Amino acid sequence: MTMYPIKKIRSDFPILNRIINQHPLTYLDSAAAAQKPNIVIDAQAHYYRNEYAAAHRGIHTLSAESTDQMEIARLHIANFINASREEIVFVKNTTEAINLIANSWGHNFTNYGDNIILTEMEHHSNIVPWQILAKNRKIILNYIPLTSSGTLDISSLSKLINHRTQLLSISHISNVLGTINPLIEIINIVKKKSDALILVDGAQGIAHQPVDVQKLDCDFYIFSGHKIYGPSGIGVMYGKKKLLQKMPPWIVGGGIVQNVSLIQDTTFIESPWKFESGSPNVGGIVGLDKAIAYVKTIGIDKIYAHEDQLIHYATNILQKIPGLILYGPKSMRSSIIAFNIGTHHSYDVGILLNQYGIAIRTGHHCAIPTMNYFKVPGMCRASFAMYTNKEDIDRLAHGLTKVQCLLNQQ
């Protein structure tokens, strides 16, 4: 078996050379935003230096090149998740994709008394758009409950499904607990009892697990570019072709029309382009294309195996620190580890760790219902990526021991 090329990978991410507060950067906040390899940074710079123009707008060379780059990227992204090109919609991020679905599909295909199933571990972006839809369309939201081990109580799912269930919207991986949800098992249960659509929020899944939308048989799979080593401001919504064809555009305006008249209804172009109104973020798309190519070169299976080793290594070390409370499941857990030091506020821990150059995420992680379940105002979260190494985790453990001493002295 070939060794995981961690040294080479780390050398591809220039930011990892930063010194923060006189310490080498220990970046453990990749679940919030993954760092970018040179290939992504260079591709974007090259595009802006040499090829930049408005895509889908002009007939001149630069515009045609921009359009080509965008459409080639669409094909590569489709291949990456085993979809077809017409099923890939470019959006700003995961949040925008969920809002698109809630507003386009939700407002047109749900009715009074229908219900939608979410889970108690969702990010706010996968709760709030549905709450607004539920209020407007008078539909009911039900939640698959969390368990104290940080997994979903799947035994209670069957009871939530009935012939009025229109959608299950569920995260692939919890952004707080790292739980890898057993999607195939859950989707099978839903499909046996209803014709509900399945939306998978892949914000935390896409960079850490192989994704095959055919195997999952999901109707939507969505993710943000910035969590898979791509630029901010670009994301992807996969939707089954037939479904996208039925759905009306949501954000409307230029670039997506067949005809506009002052007296008749506007007619729109085909999907996926009818969902991409306004000037597209081609620079972002170029960067995302390269980020996905980079992930493919390393191999998503290898990345998963590397991160899985790190999770076991980190759990073993961290659980030896007295007073440290770990949250989340013991197995089927991705590259995220959430904890608190006794009752100390996560902000205090995060600020002190930053003094040692250690970047973690603190607070409620846009998942207040999850915090409420565990009866805490916030948690500390260390999250890993393909470039994280054991030294990062050793530095975290060492830093936490020092932080604990400091906090306990107060």
Ligand X SMILES: Cc1ncc(COP(=O)(O)O)c(C=O)c1O
Residues 148-177 interacting with ligand X (rule: CB under 6 A): 171, 175
95 belongs to the binding site for ligand X (CB under 6 A)? yes
Contact 349, 407 (CB under 8 A): yes
Rounded Cα–Cα distance for residues 193 and 409 (Å):
57
Q: Judged by CB under 6 A, which of 125, 151, 179, 388 binds ligand X?
A: 125
- Binding window for ligand X (CB under 6 A); candidates: 11-19, 119-127, 208-216, 292-300: 119-127
* C-alpha 367, offset from chain centre: 14
103 belongs to the binding site for ligand X (CB under 6 A)? no
Q: For residues 81 and 400, which CB has a smaller minimum distance to ligand X in the complex?
A: 81
Rounded Cα–Cα distance for residues 131 and 167 (Å):
13
Q: How far is CA 156 from each of CA 116, 376, 404, rounded to the nearest angstrom? A: 15, 25, 39
126 belongs to the binding site for ligand X (CB under 6 A)? yes
Q: For residues 123 and 344, which CB has a smaller minimum distance to ligand X in the complex?
A: 123
- Binding window for ligand X (CB under 6 A); candidates: 79-87, 118-126, 263-271, 307-315: 118-126
Q: For residues 207 and 282, which CB has a smaller minimum distance to ligand X in the complex?
A: 207
209 belongs to the binding site for ligand X (CB under 6 A)? no
Start-end of H helices in 30-118: 38-46, 61-80, 94-101, 107-109
Residue that is written with structure tokens 């290939």 in the block: 39
67 belongs to the binding site for ligand X (CB under 6 A)? no
DSSP 359: E
Catalytic residue among 218, 366, 380, 405: 366
255: left (phi over 0), alpha (psi -120 to 50) or beta: left
Query: Is 405 designated active site?
Result: no
Pairing label, strands 165-171, 140-144: unpaired
Q: Judged by CB under 6 A, which of 29, 87, 114, 201 binds ligand X?
A: 201
**AA letter at 113:** G
Q: For residues 166 and 224, which CB has a smaller minimum distance to ligand X in the complex?
A: 224
Residue that is written with structure tokens 């039925």 in the block: 246
Q: For residues 121 and 403, which CB has a smaller minimum distance to ligand X in the complex?
A: 121
Shortest Cβ 290–ligand X spacing (Å): 19
Looking at the annotation, which residues are catalytic?
366
List of residues contacting ligand X (CB under 6 A): 93-95, 123, 125-126, 171, 175, 201, 203-204, 224
